[in-house]
């Protein structure tokens, strides 16, 4: 018995599946972001490969990529890549934060903080990057984990200047570490995983495990470095 073709969806069904309009799907197809459909007469049919690539396009858009940057990214993915292979690229793009920022109003911000915040409190939270104001008055973007850290800083009663100085250090060095770790992952870890002949779902699980392990390694290194700095300070005072 002849196997049924994998491409069985109409463009309307594909658009519904990925949450896009038919016009948008056809636009992306015209730009070469997805393969041509399987043709039967005047009808075109789409499959899992088209779904995977359109979901990747949407993920790239969510990360702020321009259309030309998305085209360049997709050009580096082999045309014979399986839907599972394409899905792995989405795994690499997935945010490392456990909870993404959500937009809330001032009243909800107080509720999430567990107390009524003063204007100075909010100003400090904004200054250290825990809370991000929006163009709408008294509306903010915030991630719960970040807010929890910010509230604990408020509870310490740190001077604003000290909080800002610490945040500047964390931001500058955090960015440097992120860039270097990203290079190591891209140039050494990812090629190793890609060539390991492991099933895509296993590789995906390994990538996900790499995230918390990287964060824990960073925290451990920081703790060791702080202890060494304290010991060095004591030695200098002798």
Average pLDDT on 146-155 reads 89
Q: Which SS3 state, helix, strand or coil, does residue 43 take?
A: strand
CATH number of 11-93: 1.10.3720.10, 1.10.287.10, 1.10.1660.10, 1.10.40.30? 1.10.1660.10
Query: From CA 195, how far away is CA 213, in angstroms rounded?
Result: 22
Average pLDDT on 163-168 reads 88
Retrieve residue 216's tokens: 């824990």
More confident residue, 76 or 4: 76
Confidence of residue 89 (pLDDT cuts 50, 70, 90): confident
Query: From CA 130, how far away is CA 132, in angstroms rounded?
Result: 7
The pLDDT value given to residue 79: 82
Query: From CA 18, how far away is CA 25, in angstroms rounded?
Result: 9
Torsion sign across C-alpha atoms 80, 82, 85, 87: positive
pTM of the model: 0.62
Percent of the chain whose predicted confidence (pLDDT) is above 70: 95
The pLDDT value given to residue 2: 38
The pLDDT value given to residue 98: 65
Helix or strand (DSSP H, E) at 123: helix 119-127
Query: From CA 186, how far away is CA 188, in angstroms rounded?
Result: 6
Query: From CA 234, how far away is CA 238, in angstroms rounded?
Result: 7
Average pLDDT on 79-98 reads 78
- Asked whether residue 238 carries a pLDDT value surpassing 70, the answer given is no
* Contact between 71 and 31 (Cβ < 8 Å): yes
- CA 80 to centroid of chain Cα atoms: 26
Smallest CA-to-CA distance from 37 within 16, 8, 17, 57 is with 8
Smallest CA-to-CA distance from 146 within 181, 170, 180 is with 170
The pLDDT value given to residue 233: 85
Specify which residues 43 forms β-bridges with.
40
What confidence tens digit (pLDDT) does each residue in 14-62 have? Answer: 999 999 999 999 999 999 999 889 888 888 899 999 999 999 998 888 8
* Contact between 125 and 118 (Cβ < 8 Å): no
Average pLDDT on 61-74 reads 88
Q: Where are the domains of the chain?
A: 11-93, 96-158, 161-238
């Amino acid at each position: 018995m002849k196997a049924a073709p994998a491409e069985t969806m109409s463009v309307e069904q594909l658009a519904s599946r990925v949450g896009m309009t038919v016009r948008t799907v056809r636009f992306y197809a015209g730009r070469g972001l997805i393969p041509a459909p399987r043709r039967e007469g005047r009808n075109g049919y789409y499959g899992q490969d088209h779904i995977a690539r359109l979901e990747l396009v949407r993920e790239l858009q969510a990360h702020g990529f321009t259309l030309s940057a998305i085209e360049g990214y997709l050009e580096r993915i082999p045309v014979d890549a399986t839907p599972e292979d394409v899905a792995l690229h989405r795994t690499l793009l997935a945010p490392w934060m456990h909870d993404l920022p959500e937009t809330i109003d001032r009243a909800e911000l107080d509720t999430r903080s567990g107390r009524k915040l003063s204007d100075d409190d909010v100003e400090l939270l904004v200054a250290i990057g825990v809370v991000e104001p929006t163009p709408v008055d008294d509306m903010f973007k915030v991630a719960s984990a970040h807010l929890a850290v910010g509230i604990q800083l408020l509870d310490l009663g740190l001077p604003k200047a000290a909080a800002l100085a610490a945040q500047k250090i964390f931001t500058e060095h955090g960015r440097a570490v992120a860039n270097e770790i990203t290079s190591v992952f891209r140039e050494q870890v990812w090629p190793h995983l890609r060539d390991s002949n492991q099933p895509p779902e296993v590789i995906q699980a390994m990538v996900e495990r790499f995230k918390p392990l990287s964060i824990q390694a960073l925290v451990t290194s920081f703790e060791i470095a702080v202890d060494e700095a304290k010991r060095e300070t004591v030695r200098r005072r002798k």
